[in-house]
Amino acid sequence: MRISTILSGDRVRLSCEVFPPKKFDGIAHACETAKEIAALKPAYMSVTYGAAGSTPGHTLAVAKAVAEAGVTPLCHLTCVQSTKAHVRQVLADMKAAGMENVLALRGDLPREGGRCTDFTYAAELIDFIHAQGDFCVGAACYPEGHPESGSRLQDMEYLKRKVDTGVDFLTTQMFFDNAILYNFLYRALKKGIDVPVCAGIMPICDPKQVARAVQLSGSIMPPRFAAIADRFAHDPAAMAQAGIAYATEQIIDLVANGVTHIHLYTMNKPWITRAIVENLSSIIHMGE
């Protein structure tokens, strides 16, 4: 099913993200993990694309496992270090495997620098995908602004241009303060961006994740969460419980304020995903 169809209407939806393994011998385990999460009946499941396009076959293998488990898959695809010939082949493989949904991303720029190949921005990839076939295309957005962008105003300008190239839905970078999302949604609507926006929630259950999440996403860590991380950093069970509670509360607040699409960054942890789904069992009805 197309994600745009899943996201139409006002019903509250929860979708999940999983990542493929870096190495080929991890595929079976990643597929099992994906199937465990799929058993919770999320609205759809996205499968990330290896940094620098390193593992396209692994993304597809895990996406196929998601489909076999009866959940709609969404394949991520990055372009910054790819050629058009390579992307064309990846899309052909997706099509042959029955994939209808693609999250089109630029990918992070190589740390060592160097020039981009055939694509500079995600918008060019989106154009290219539409020329290759009838895909439902999503894209990324950044409530706090993309870390490379000069200002949130400029970032919003480029986001509008990206959406106008043919984006069916957006998924946000993780954020830990809902006020930042509400502000972003207001600014996006004012700019005329009216596609569904899936709010990305990352449950932080491991103290090591805190610094990494902030570094990767450029997200602000609100004092309330920083206090939790400080207090429970040395007690893994307490940190996990607090992280699950924090993410649950974030989602309840989002739903209470009219957000209908939640995307959970599961970090391939079925037990964390299950705990959150159970906490929300009367608020989000999975599988309906």
Place of tokens 């290759």: 132
Q: Tell me the window of 64-72, 143-151, 175-183, 248-256 that interacts with ligand FAD (CB under 6 A).
A: 143-151
Q: Tell me the window of 27-35, 140-148, 235-243, 245-253 that interacts with ligand FAD (CB under 6 A).
A: 140-148
Among 15, 101, 173, 268, binds ligand FAD (CB under 6 A): 173
Residue (182 or 245) nearer to ligand FAD, CB: 182
Among 33, 78, 82, 266, binds ligand FAD (CB under 6 A): 78
- For 260, list phi and psi in degrees, rounded to 5: -110, -5
Q: What is the DSSP letter of 176?
A: S
Rounded to an integer, what distance in angstroms lies between the CA atom of residue 93 and that of residue 63? 12
Among 1, 28, 51, 211, binds ligand FAD (CB under 6 A): 51
Q: How far is the CB of 83 from ligand FAD (least distance, A)?
A: 16
Q: How far is the CB of 235 from ligand FAD (least distance, A)?
A: 30
Rounded to an integer, what distance in angstroms lies between the CA atom of residue 231 and that of residue 242? 10
The two tokens of residue 101 are 């949904």
- Let me know if 36 is a catalytic residue: no
Q: How far is the CB of 60 from ligand FAD (least distance, A)?
A: 13
Strand partners, 18: 47
Interface mask (CB under 6 A) for ligand FAD, residues 19-48, using x and -?
-----------------------------x
Among 67, 93, 121, 132, binds ligand FAD (CB under 6 A): 121
Q: Are 102 and 94 in contact (CB under 8 A)?
A: yes
Contacts of 184 (CB under 8 A, 6+ apart): 141, 143, 144, 172
Residue (76 or 261) nearer to ligand FAD, CB: 76
Place of tokens 């207090």: 231
> Dihedral angle at the C-alpha atoms of 269, 270, 276, 281, nearest 10 degrees?
170
Q: Are 202 and 247 in contact (CB under 8 A)?
A: yes
Among 21, 30, 36, 49, binds ligand FAD (CB under 6 A): 49
Q: How far is the CB of 273 from ligand FAD (least distance, A)?
A: 17
Q: Are 232 and 207 in contact (CB under 8 A)?
A: yes
Q: How far is the CB of 17 from ligand FAD (least distance, A)?
A: 7
To which H or E segment does residue 101 belong? Answer: strand 101-105
Interacting residue ranges for ligand FAD, rule: CB under 6 A: 48-49, 51, 76, 78, 105-108, 121-123, 140, 146, 148-149, 155, 158, 162, 171, 173, 200
Q: Catalytic residue positions? A: 17
